[in-house]
């Protein structure tokens, strides 16, 4: 997953300023406020050591005032509009605001607190108005349109042409051509969306933090691995309940409990808490927020001339239409559901052996799946974990990046960090040239949102021929080390690390002129290609022998364990695909609507899942009330992107498998034609320039063990999924 300020701005259609009420001068505030001063730090990194919570609001307000002045200068210019004085000038405006808002949003996700959340709620309407005023500025839009209308005569290069297209469409898609009454309604909607989406995310974080399963009877720990028990003891100690064990709703805690705990009643208890976050009828309940978000998005899309919010979003994606999204999902759903039903029958048989005569419940699935894995493949995930220490996986990723792209990584200690657990790394090319700075933040804490993501503190751009190096960050929630055991990852977590590092490479290797086109500034259904292709190296037997080493002995993972992993490679993929697709369908059902939702979202979700035939033993990967991706992130009408990009990544990896996993020539092509180019070209064209063919779904279905169940789609082209007979 990626999180960028650009995504947040597009999500909320954020907007212009209340500058007339701000009398602060930049120099005066800059003397006291480090956010407004020049950052004389290593690599130009944010000066976290001197930034305080109360710096943000005045700095953001002052930066909006400065930005408005820049906008006024462009809009009121008497010079004939051209590409440089209008489009490039607009691109270069607001750099200070973007810099500060980037730091603020990243901290509000990874190291938030009550004060930052209050600032976010206060400033969101102001930021929204600021950008609304910009994109609805008639003088500015008129100048942009004049340049757009004469683009053929300008003879722009590809990147300049893409920048012009992006800027012009941004105005149109933000209401620049609307009559005044509709503009005013759009402003109101944008302001409400900004506040409600923030509230949604804060509620999920609060609900996650509020629950704890306290165990004081050692017998209730039966089945749990030693490392998980030790982590629970450390959690209890940190909460001043030494001698007990505490499990939380952080994935690194709740998922192992569901997977290994023999006590079914306790599994049910923690599961119910997990799946009911935001749905408890308290002050943190998200049900009304969801209805408001979905309905406001629908209304906004229709004001802008689109049938639904999904049509609005997908107009700028590879998929192009909701029909194409549903078509691809439907083709994968049928075999996935069939396989999941087979998996459920296996679990039910095992439950009968335990004298449990009832249908498989969601809190049974992971527990019995683990038992089946052990029985069928003699593979215990706990047997694997010693070979996947966090440091070992990190070094493995570095090795893969070196062999593919010649990249070098060196830990540095002088760059300021926002938390003691964060590490910083200098990333250099094969010739020693600095490519960027990388932050890595791995462990859960109360101020960090759940999940894993990549983001940036500074995106790459080129100024006067000089490449401005990016500052990229990876944020995860892996199990913390204890006094005696380092952080050991499940293989799924190791794959997550590889995944987010793929996003990081997209940001670090970017080599474009304009910041708004850099790195991950691509359609959501293309952005997951660089991340998901990296996961393929994580699981390949050849690569495993290079990095999977026992944290105590240094011994390479045994061949028999790798063989077991390969044999179990498609195990439980019915479940994994179904729970993902169920969430993707739910996202589309919320956003592919022409009429407002009037019912409670609980029956809405139930109806959505009934329509696709989801079995009761599986719920969507994200239920509505804690679905941060679509209600507090940038993935609304876009969660399908992982399966769309899955077609691309498995097809692209086939090129390496057909030759060599570390084919430097292929890697160079992937780097120069995709990773370096950011959003400067059409994604389908960029992909085809690398692969020299349209992507095939065959590799995806084979990878998931679904190819024998259905006839696969042969290709996914720009804007359509087609079956070649």
Tell me the catalytic residues.
500
DSSP percent split of the chain into helix, strand, coil, nearest 5:
60, 10, 35
Burial of 634 (C-beta count, 10 Å sphere; 0-12/13-18/19+): buried
Nearest-angstrom CA–CA distance, 247 and 226: 14
Residue 575 in tokens? 């479940």
DSSP state of 321: S
* CB burial string 68-105: b at 16+ within 10 A, e below: bebbeebbeeeeebebebbbbbbbebbebbbbbbbbbb
Place of tokens 């995860």: 476
Left (φ > 0), alpha (ψ -120 to 50) or beta: where does 513 sit?
alpha
Nearest-angstrom CA–CA distance, 269 and 47: 43
What length does the chain have? 725
Q: Which residues pair with 2 in a beta bridge?
A: 454
Q: Are strands 434-441 and 423-428 parallel, antiparallel or unpaired?
A: antiparallel
User: Phi then psi for 588, rounded to 5 degrees?
Assistant: -65, -35
Nearest-angstrom CA–CA distance, 427 and 327: 41
Alpha carbon distances (Å) from 652 to 258, 409, 459: 35, 25, 26
Query: Where is 235: in which H helix or E strand?
Result: helix 226-238
Alpha carbon distances (Å) from 24 to 120, 122, 130, 285, 640: 20, 18, 17, 39, 45
Please answer whether residues 390 and 488 qualify as being in contact, where contact means their C-beta atoms are separated by less than 8 angstroms: yes
* CB burial string 432-466: b at 16+ within 10 A, e below: eeebbbbbbbbbbeebbbbbbbbbbbbbbbbeeee
Pick from 626, 540, 523: which is nearest to 583 by CA? 626
Please answer whether residues 38 and 664 qualify as being in contact, where contact means their C-beta atoms are separated by less than 8 angstroms: no
User: Phi then psi for 214, rounded to 5 degrees?
Assistant: -95, 125
Question: HSE-up of 85 (CA within 13 Å, CB side)?
Answer: 13
Residue 615 in tokens? 């079995």
Place of tokens 């994580």: 538
Pick from 90, 104, 91: which is nearest to 61 by CA? 104
Please answer whether residues 533 and 652 qualify as being in contact, where contact means their C-beta atoms are separated by less than 8 angstroms: yes
Q: Where are the alpha helices (DSSP H) in 551-633?
A: 559-567, 573-591, 601-612, 628-631
Nearest-angstrom CA–CA distance, 89 and 84: 6
Nearest-angstrom CA–CA distance, 619 and 641: 19
Nearest-angstrom CA–CA distance, 514 and 89: 11
Nearest-angstrom CA–CA distance, 469 and 219: 54
Nearest-angstrom CA–CA distance, 70 and 57: 20
Please answer whether residues 115 and 55 qualify as being in contact, where contact means their C-beta atoms are separated by less than 8 angstroms: no
Nearest-angstrom CA–CA distance, 130 and 185: 15
User: Phi then psi for 660, rounded to 5 degrees?
Assistant: -155, 140
SS (H, E, C) 543-573: HHHHHCECCCCCCECCHHHHHHHHHCCCCCH
Residue 173 in tokens? 């898609």
Alpha carbon 679 to chain centroid distance?
17
């Amino acid at each position: 997953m990626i999180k960028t300020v650009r995504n947040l701005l597009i999500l909320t259609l954020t907007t212009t300023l209340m500058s007339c009420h701000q009398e602060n001068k930049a120099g005066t505030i800059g003397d006291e406020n480090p956010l407004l001063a020049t950052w004389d730090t290593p690599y130009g990194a944010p000066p976290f050591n001197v930034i305080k919570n109360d710096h943000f609001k005045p700095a953001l307000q002052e930066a909006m005032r400065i930005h408005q002045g820049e906008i006024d200068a462009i809009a009121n210019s008497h010079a004939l509009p051209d590409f440089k004085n209008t489009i490039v000038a607009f691109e270069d405006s607001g750099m200070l605001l973007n810099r500060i808002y980037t730091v603020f949003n990243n901290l509000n996700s990874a190291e938030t607190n009550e004060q930052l959340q209050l600032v976010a709620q206060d400033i969101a309407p102001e930021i929204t108005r600021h950008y609304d005023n910009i994109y609805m500025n008639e003088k500015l839009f008129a100048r942009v349109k004049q340049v757009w209308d004469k683009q053929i005569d300008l003879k722009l290069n590809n990147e300049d042409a893409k920048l012009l297209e992006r800027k012009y469409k941004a105005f149109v898609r933000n209401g620049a051509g609307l009559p005044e009454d509709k503009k005013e309604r759009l402003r109101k909607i944008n302001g409400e969306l900004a506040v409600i989406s923030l509230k949604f995310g804060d509620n999920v974080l609060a609900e996650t933090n509020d629950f704890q399963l306290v165990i004081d009877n050692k017998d209730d720990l039966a089945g749990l691995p030693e490392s998980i028990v030790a982590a629970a003891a450390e959690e209890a100690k940190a909460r001043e309940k030494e001698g007990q064990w505490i499990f939380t709703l952080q994935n690194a805690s709740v998922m192992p409990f569901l997977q290994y705990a023999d006590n079914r009643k306790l599994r049910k208890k923690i599961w119910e808490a997990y799946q009911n976050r935001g749905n408890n009828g308290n002050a943190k309940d998200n049900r009304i927020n969801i209805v408001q978000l979905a309905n406001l998005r629908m209304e906004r899309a229709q004001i802008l001339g689109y049938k639904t919010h999904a049509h609005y979003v997908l107009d700028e994606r590879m998929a192009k239409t909701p029909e194409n999204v549903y078509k691809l999902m439907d083709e994968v759903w049928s075999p996935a559901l069939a396989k999941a039903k087979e998996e459920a029958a296996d679990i039910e048989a095992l439950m009968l052996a335990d004298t449990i005569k009832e249908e498989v419940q969601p809190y049974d699935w992971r527990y019995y799946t683990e038992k089946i894995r052990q029985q069928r493949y003699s593979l215990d995930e706990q047997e694997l974990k010693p070979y996947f220490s966090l440091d070992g996986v990190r070094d493995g990723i570095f090795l893969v990046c070196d062999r593919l792209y010649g990249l070098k990584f060196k830990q540095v200690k002088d760059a300021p960090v926002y938390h003691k657990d964060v590490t910083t790394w200098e990333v250099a090319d094969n010739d020693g040239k600095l490519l960027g700075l990388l932050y890595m933040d791995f462990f859960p804490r109360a101020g960090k949102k759940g999940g894993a993501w990549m983001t940036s503190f500074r995106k790459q751009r080129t100024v006067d021929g000089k490449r401005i190096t990016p500052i990229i960050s990876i944020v995860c929630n892996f199990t913390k080390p204890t006094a005696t055991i380092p952080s050991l990852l499940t293989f799924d977590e190791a794959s997550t690390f590889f995944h987010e590092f793929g996003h990081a490479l997209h940001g670090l290797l970017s080599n474009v002129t304009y910041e708004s086109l850099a790195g991950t500034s691509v359609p959501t259904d293309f952005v997951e290609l660089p991340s998901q292709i990296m996961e393929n190296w994580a699981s390949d037997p050849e690569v495993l022998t290079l990095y999977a080493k026992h944290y105590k002995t240094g011994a390479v993972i045994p061949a028999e364990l790798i063989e077991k992993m390969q044999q179990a490679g498609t195990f439980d993929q019915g479940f994994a695909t179904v729970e993902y697709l169920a969430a993707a369908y739910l996202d589309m059902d919320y956003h592919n609507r022409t009429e407002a939702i009037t019912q409670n979202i609980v029956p809405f979700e139930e109806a959505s899942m009934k329509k696709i035939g989801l079995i009761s033993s599986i719920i969507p990967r994200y239920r509505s009330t804690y679905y941060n991706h679509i209600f507090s992130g940038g993935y609304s009408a876009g969660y399908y992107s992982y399966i769309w990009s899955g077609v691309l990544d498995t097809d692209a990896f086939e090129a390496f498998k057909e030759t060599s996993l570390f084919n430097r020539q292929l890697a160079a092509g992937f780097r120069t034609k995709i990773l370096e180019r950011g959003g400067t070209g059409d994604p389908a064209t960029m992909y085809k320039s690398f692969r020299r063919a349209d992507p095939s779904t065959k590799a995806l279905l084979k990878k998931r063990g679904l190819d024998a169940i259905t006839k696969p789609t042969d290709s996914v082209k720009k804007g359509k999924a087609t079956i070649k007979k």
